[in-house]
Amino acid sequence: MGQKQIATIYETTGDYGIVAIGKFEDTDGMNAQIKELLSDVDIRELNTSVVLNSVCENEQFELDVDEE
């Protein structure tokens, strides 16, 4: 995936083998990227979610973890 809109790719466990994070200027750009990805023979299925608001981005933050 050499697309510049794809910022991060994670290999995961669970229902999806890969999670890719992309940033697009508009929905037309996002739709074009989705169509391009779906034309790849190695991609069997695509599930898309749209972020409405960014709570925290590119910042380190503390996790509240109870240590026993």
pLDDT tens-digit readout, 16-63: 889 999 989 889 999 999 999 899 998 888 899 998 988 887 777 777
pLDDT at 10: 93
**The two three-digit tokens of residue 17, written as one number:** 């083998």
Domain that holds residue 53: 1-68
Q: Which H or E run contains 32?
A: helix 27-38
**Total domains present in the chain:** 1
Within 13 A of 11's CA, how many CA atoms are on the CB side?
0
pLDDT at 2: 46
Phi first, then psi: give them for residue 13, nearest 5 degrees.
-100, 170
